[in-house]
């Protein structure tokens, strides 16, 4: 049971991290387009 919770936690952290990463990349692209 604890292992499952750890996997869920890791998965959510990875999802949050990749979401932030993607947002940053899209933000950089829009900044470049504006320039």
DSSP string, 8-33: HHHHHHHHHHHHHHHHHHHHHHHHHH
Does the global pTM surpass 0.75?
no
Q: What is the overall mean pLDDT for the chain?
A: 86
End-to-end CA distance of the chain: 51
Write down the pLDDT at residue 32.
Answer: 76
Write down the pLDDT at residue 2.
Answer: 81
Write down the pLDDT at residue 29.
Answer: 83
């Amino acid at each position: 049971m604890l292992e499952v919770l750890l996997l869920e936690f890791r998965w959510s952290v990875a999802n949050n991290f990749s979401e932030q990463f993607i947002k940053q990349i899209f933000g950089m692209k829009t900044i470049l387009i504006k320039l």
